[in-house]
């Protein structure tokens, strides 16, 4: 499948408390990173538990960051074009990645695995990168949940781990 924008349907409540559709169509925020990866921002929250209001402003109309806000969540669809090699990065989040189309290679410090349509990966704050070594775009859904490193893991990772976290895919890694 191409990099076409996914359909986003958002529900809410009318003044009488009845369930209604607030929007139905392409997500209003889509960006392409310098490496060619497309980010279709579907929804995000800034708190846990997430407040549920009758209607909602557009939560994705803000600067693009990889991890969610502190205490928040994020869902996006990424399209990785053939030949893409993402920057090697780490986020302080639990990320559920679901391959919809194509195939990607998840590369860790000393290992890699191929993920195909239907595969699900649980990314737990590890250093990694994504590669599309195939001839067709790969599409993945990512659900990101803010996380925190335990003291024992932070001790193993070292004092610089928080300063090395990846935030802005719109700028090359050395500028983030």
Task: For the chain, list the domains and their CATH numbers.
Answer: 30-149 (2.60.120.10)
| Whether the model pTM is above 0.85 | no
Q: What is the pLDDT of residues 37-86, one digit of tens each?
A: 998 989 988 888 888 888 878 888 766 677 788 899 999 999 999 999 99
Closest alpha carbon to 35 in 164, 147, 166 = 166
Contact 101, 134 (CB under 8 A): no
What CA–CA distances, in Å, run from 63 to 12, 41, 170?
24, 11, 9
* DSSP-based helix, strand, coil % in the chain, nearest 5: 5, 40, 50
């Amino acid at each position: 499948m191409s990099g076409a924008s996914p359909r986003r349907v958002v529900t809410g409540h009318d003044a009488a408390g009845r369930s209604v559709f607030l929007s139905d169509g392409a997500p209003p925020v889509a960006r392409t990173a310098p490496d060619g990866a497309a980010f279709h921002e579907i929804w995000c929250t800034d708190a846990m538990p997430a407040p549920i209001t009758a209607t909602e402003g557009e939560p994705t109309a803000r600067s693009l960051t990889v991890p969610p806000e502190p205490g928040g969540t994020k869902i996006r669809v990424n399209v990785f074009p053939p030949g893409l090699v993402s920057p090697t990065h780490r986020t302080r989040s639990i990320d559920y990645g679901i391959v919809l189309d194509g195939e990607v290679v998840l590369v860790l410090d000393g290992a890699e695995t191929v993920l195909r349509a239907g595969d699900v990966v649980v990314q737990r704050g590890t250093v990694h990168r994504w590669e599309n070594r195939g001839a067709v775009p790969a599409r993945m859904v990512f659900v990101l949940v803010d996380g925190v490193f335990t003291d024992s893991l932070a001790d193993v990772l070292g004092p610089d781990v928080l300063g090395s976290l990846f935030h802005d895919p719109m700028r090359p890694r050395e500028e983030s």
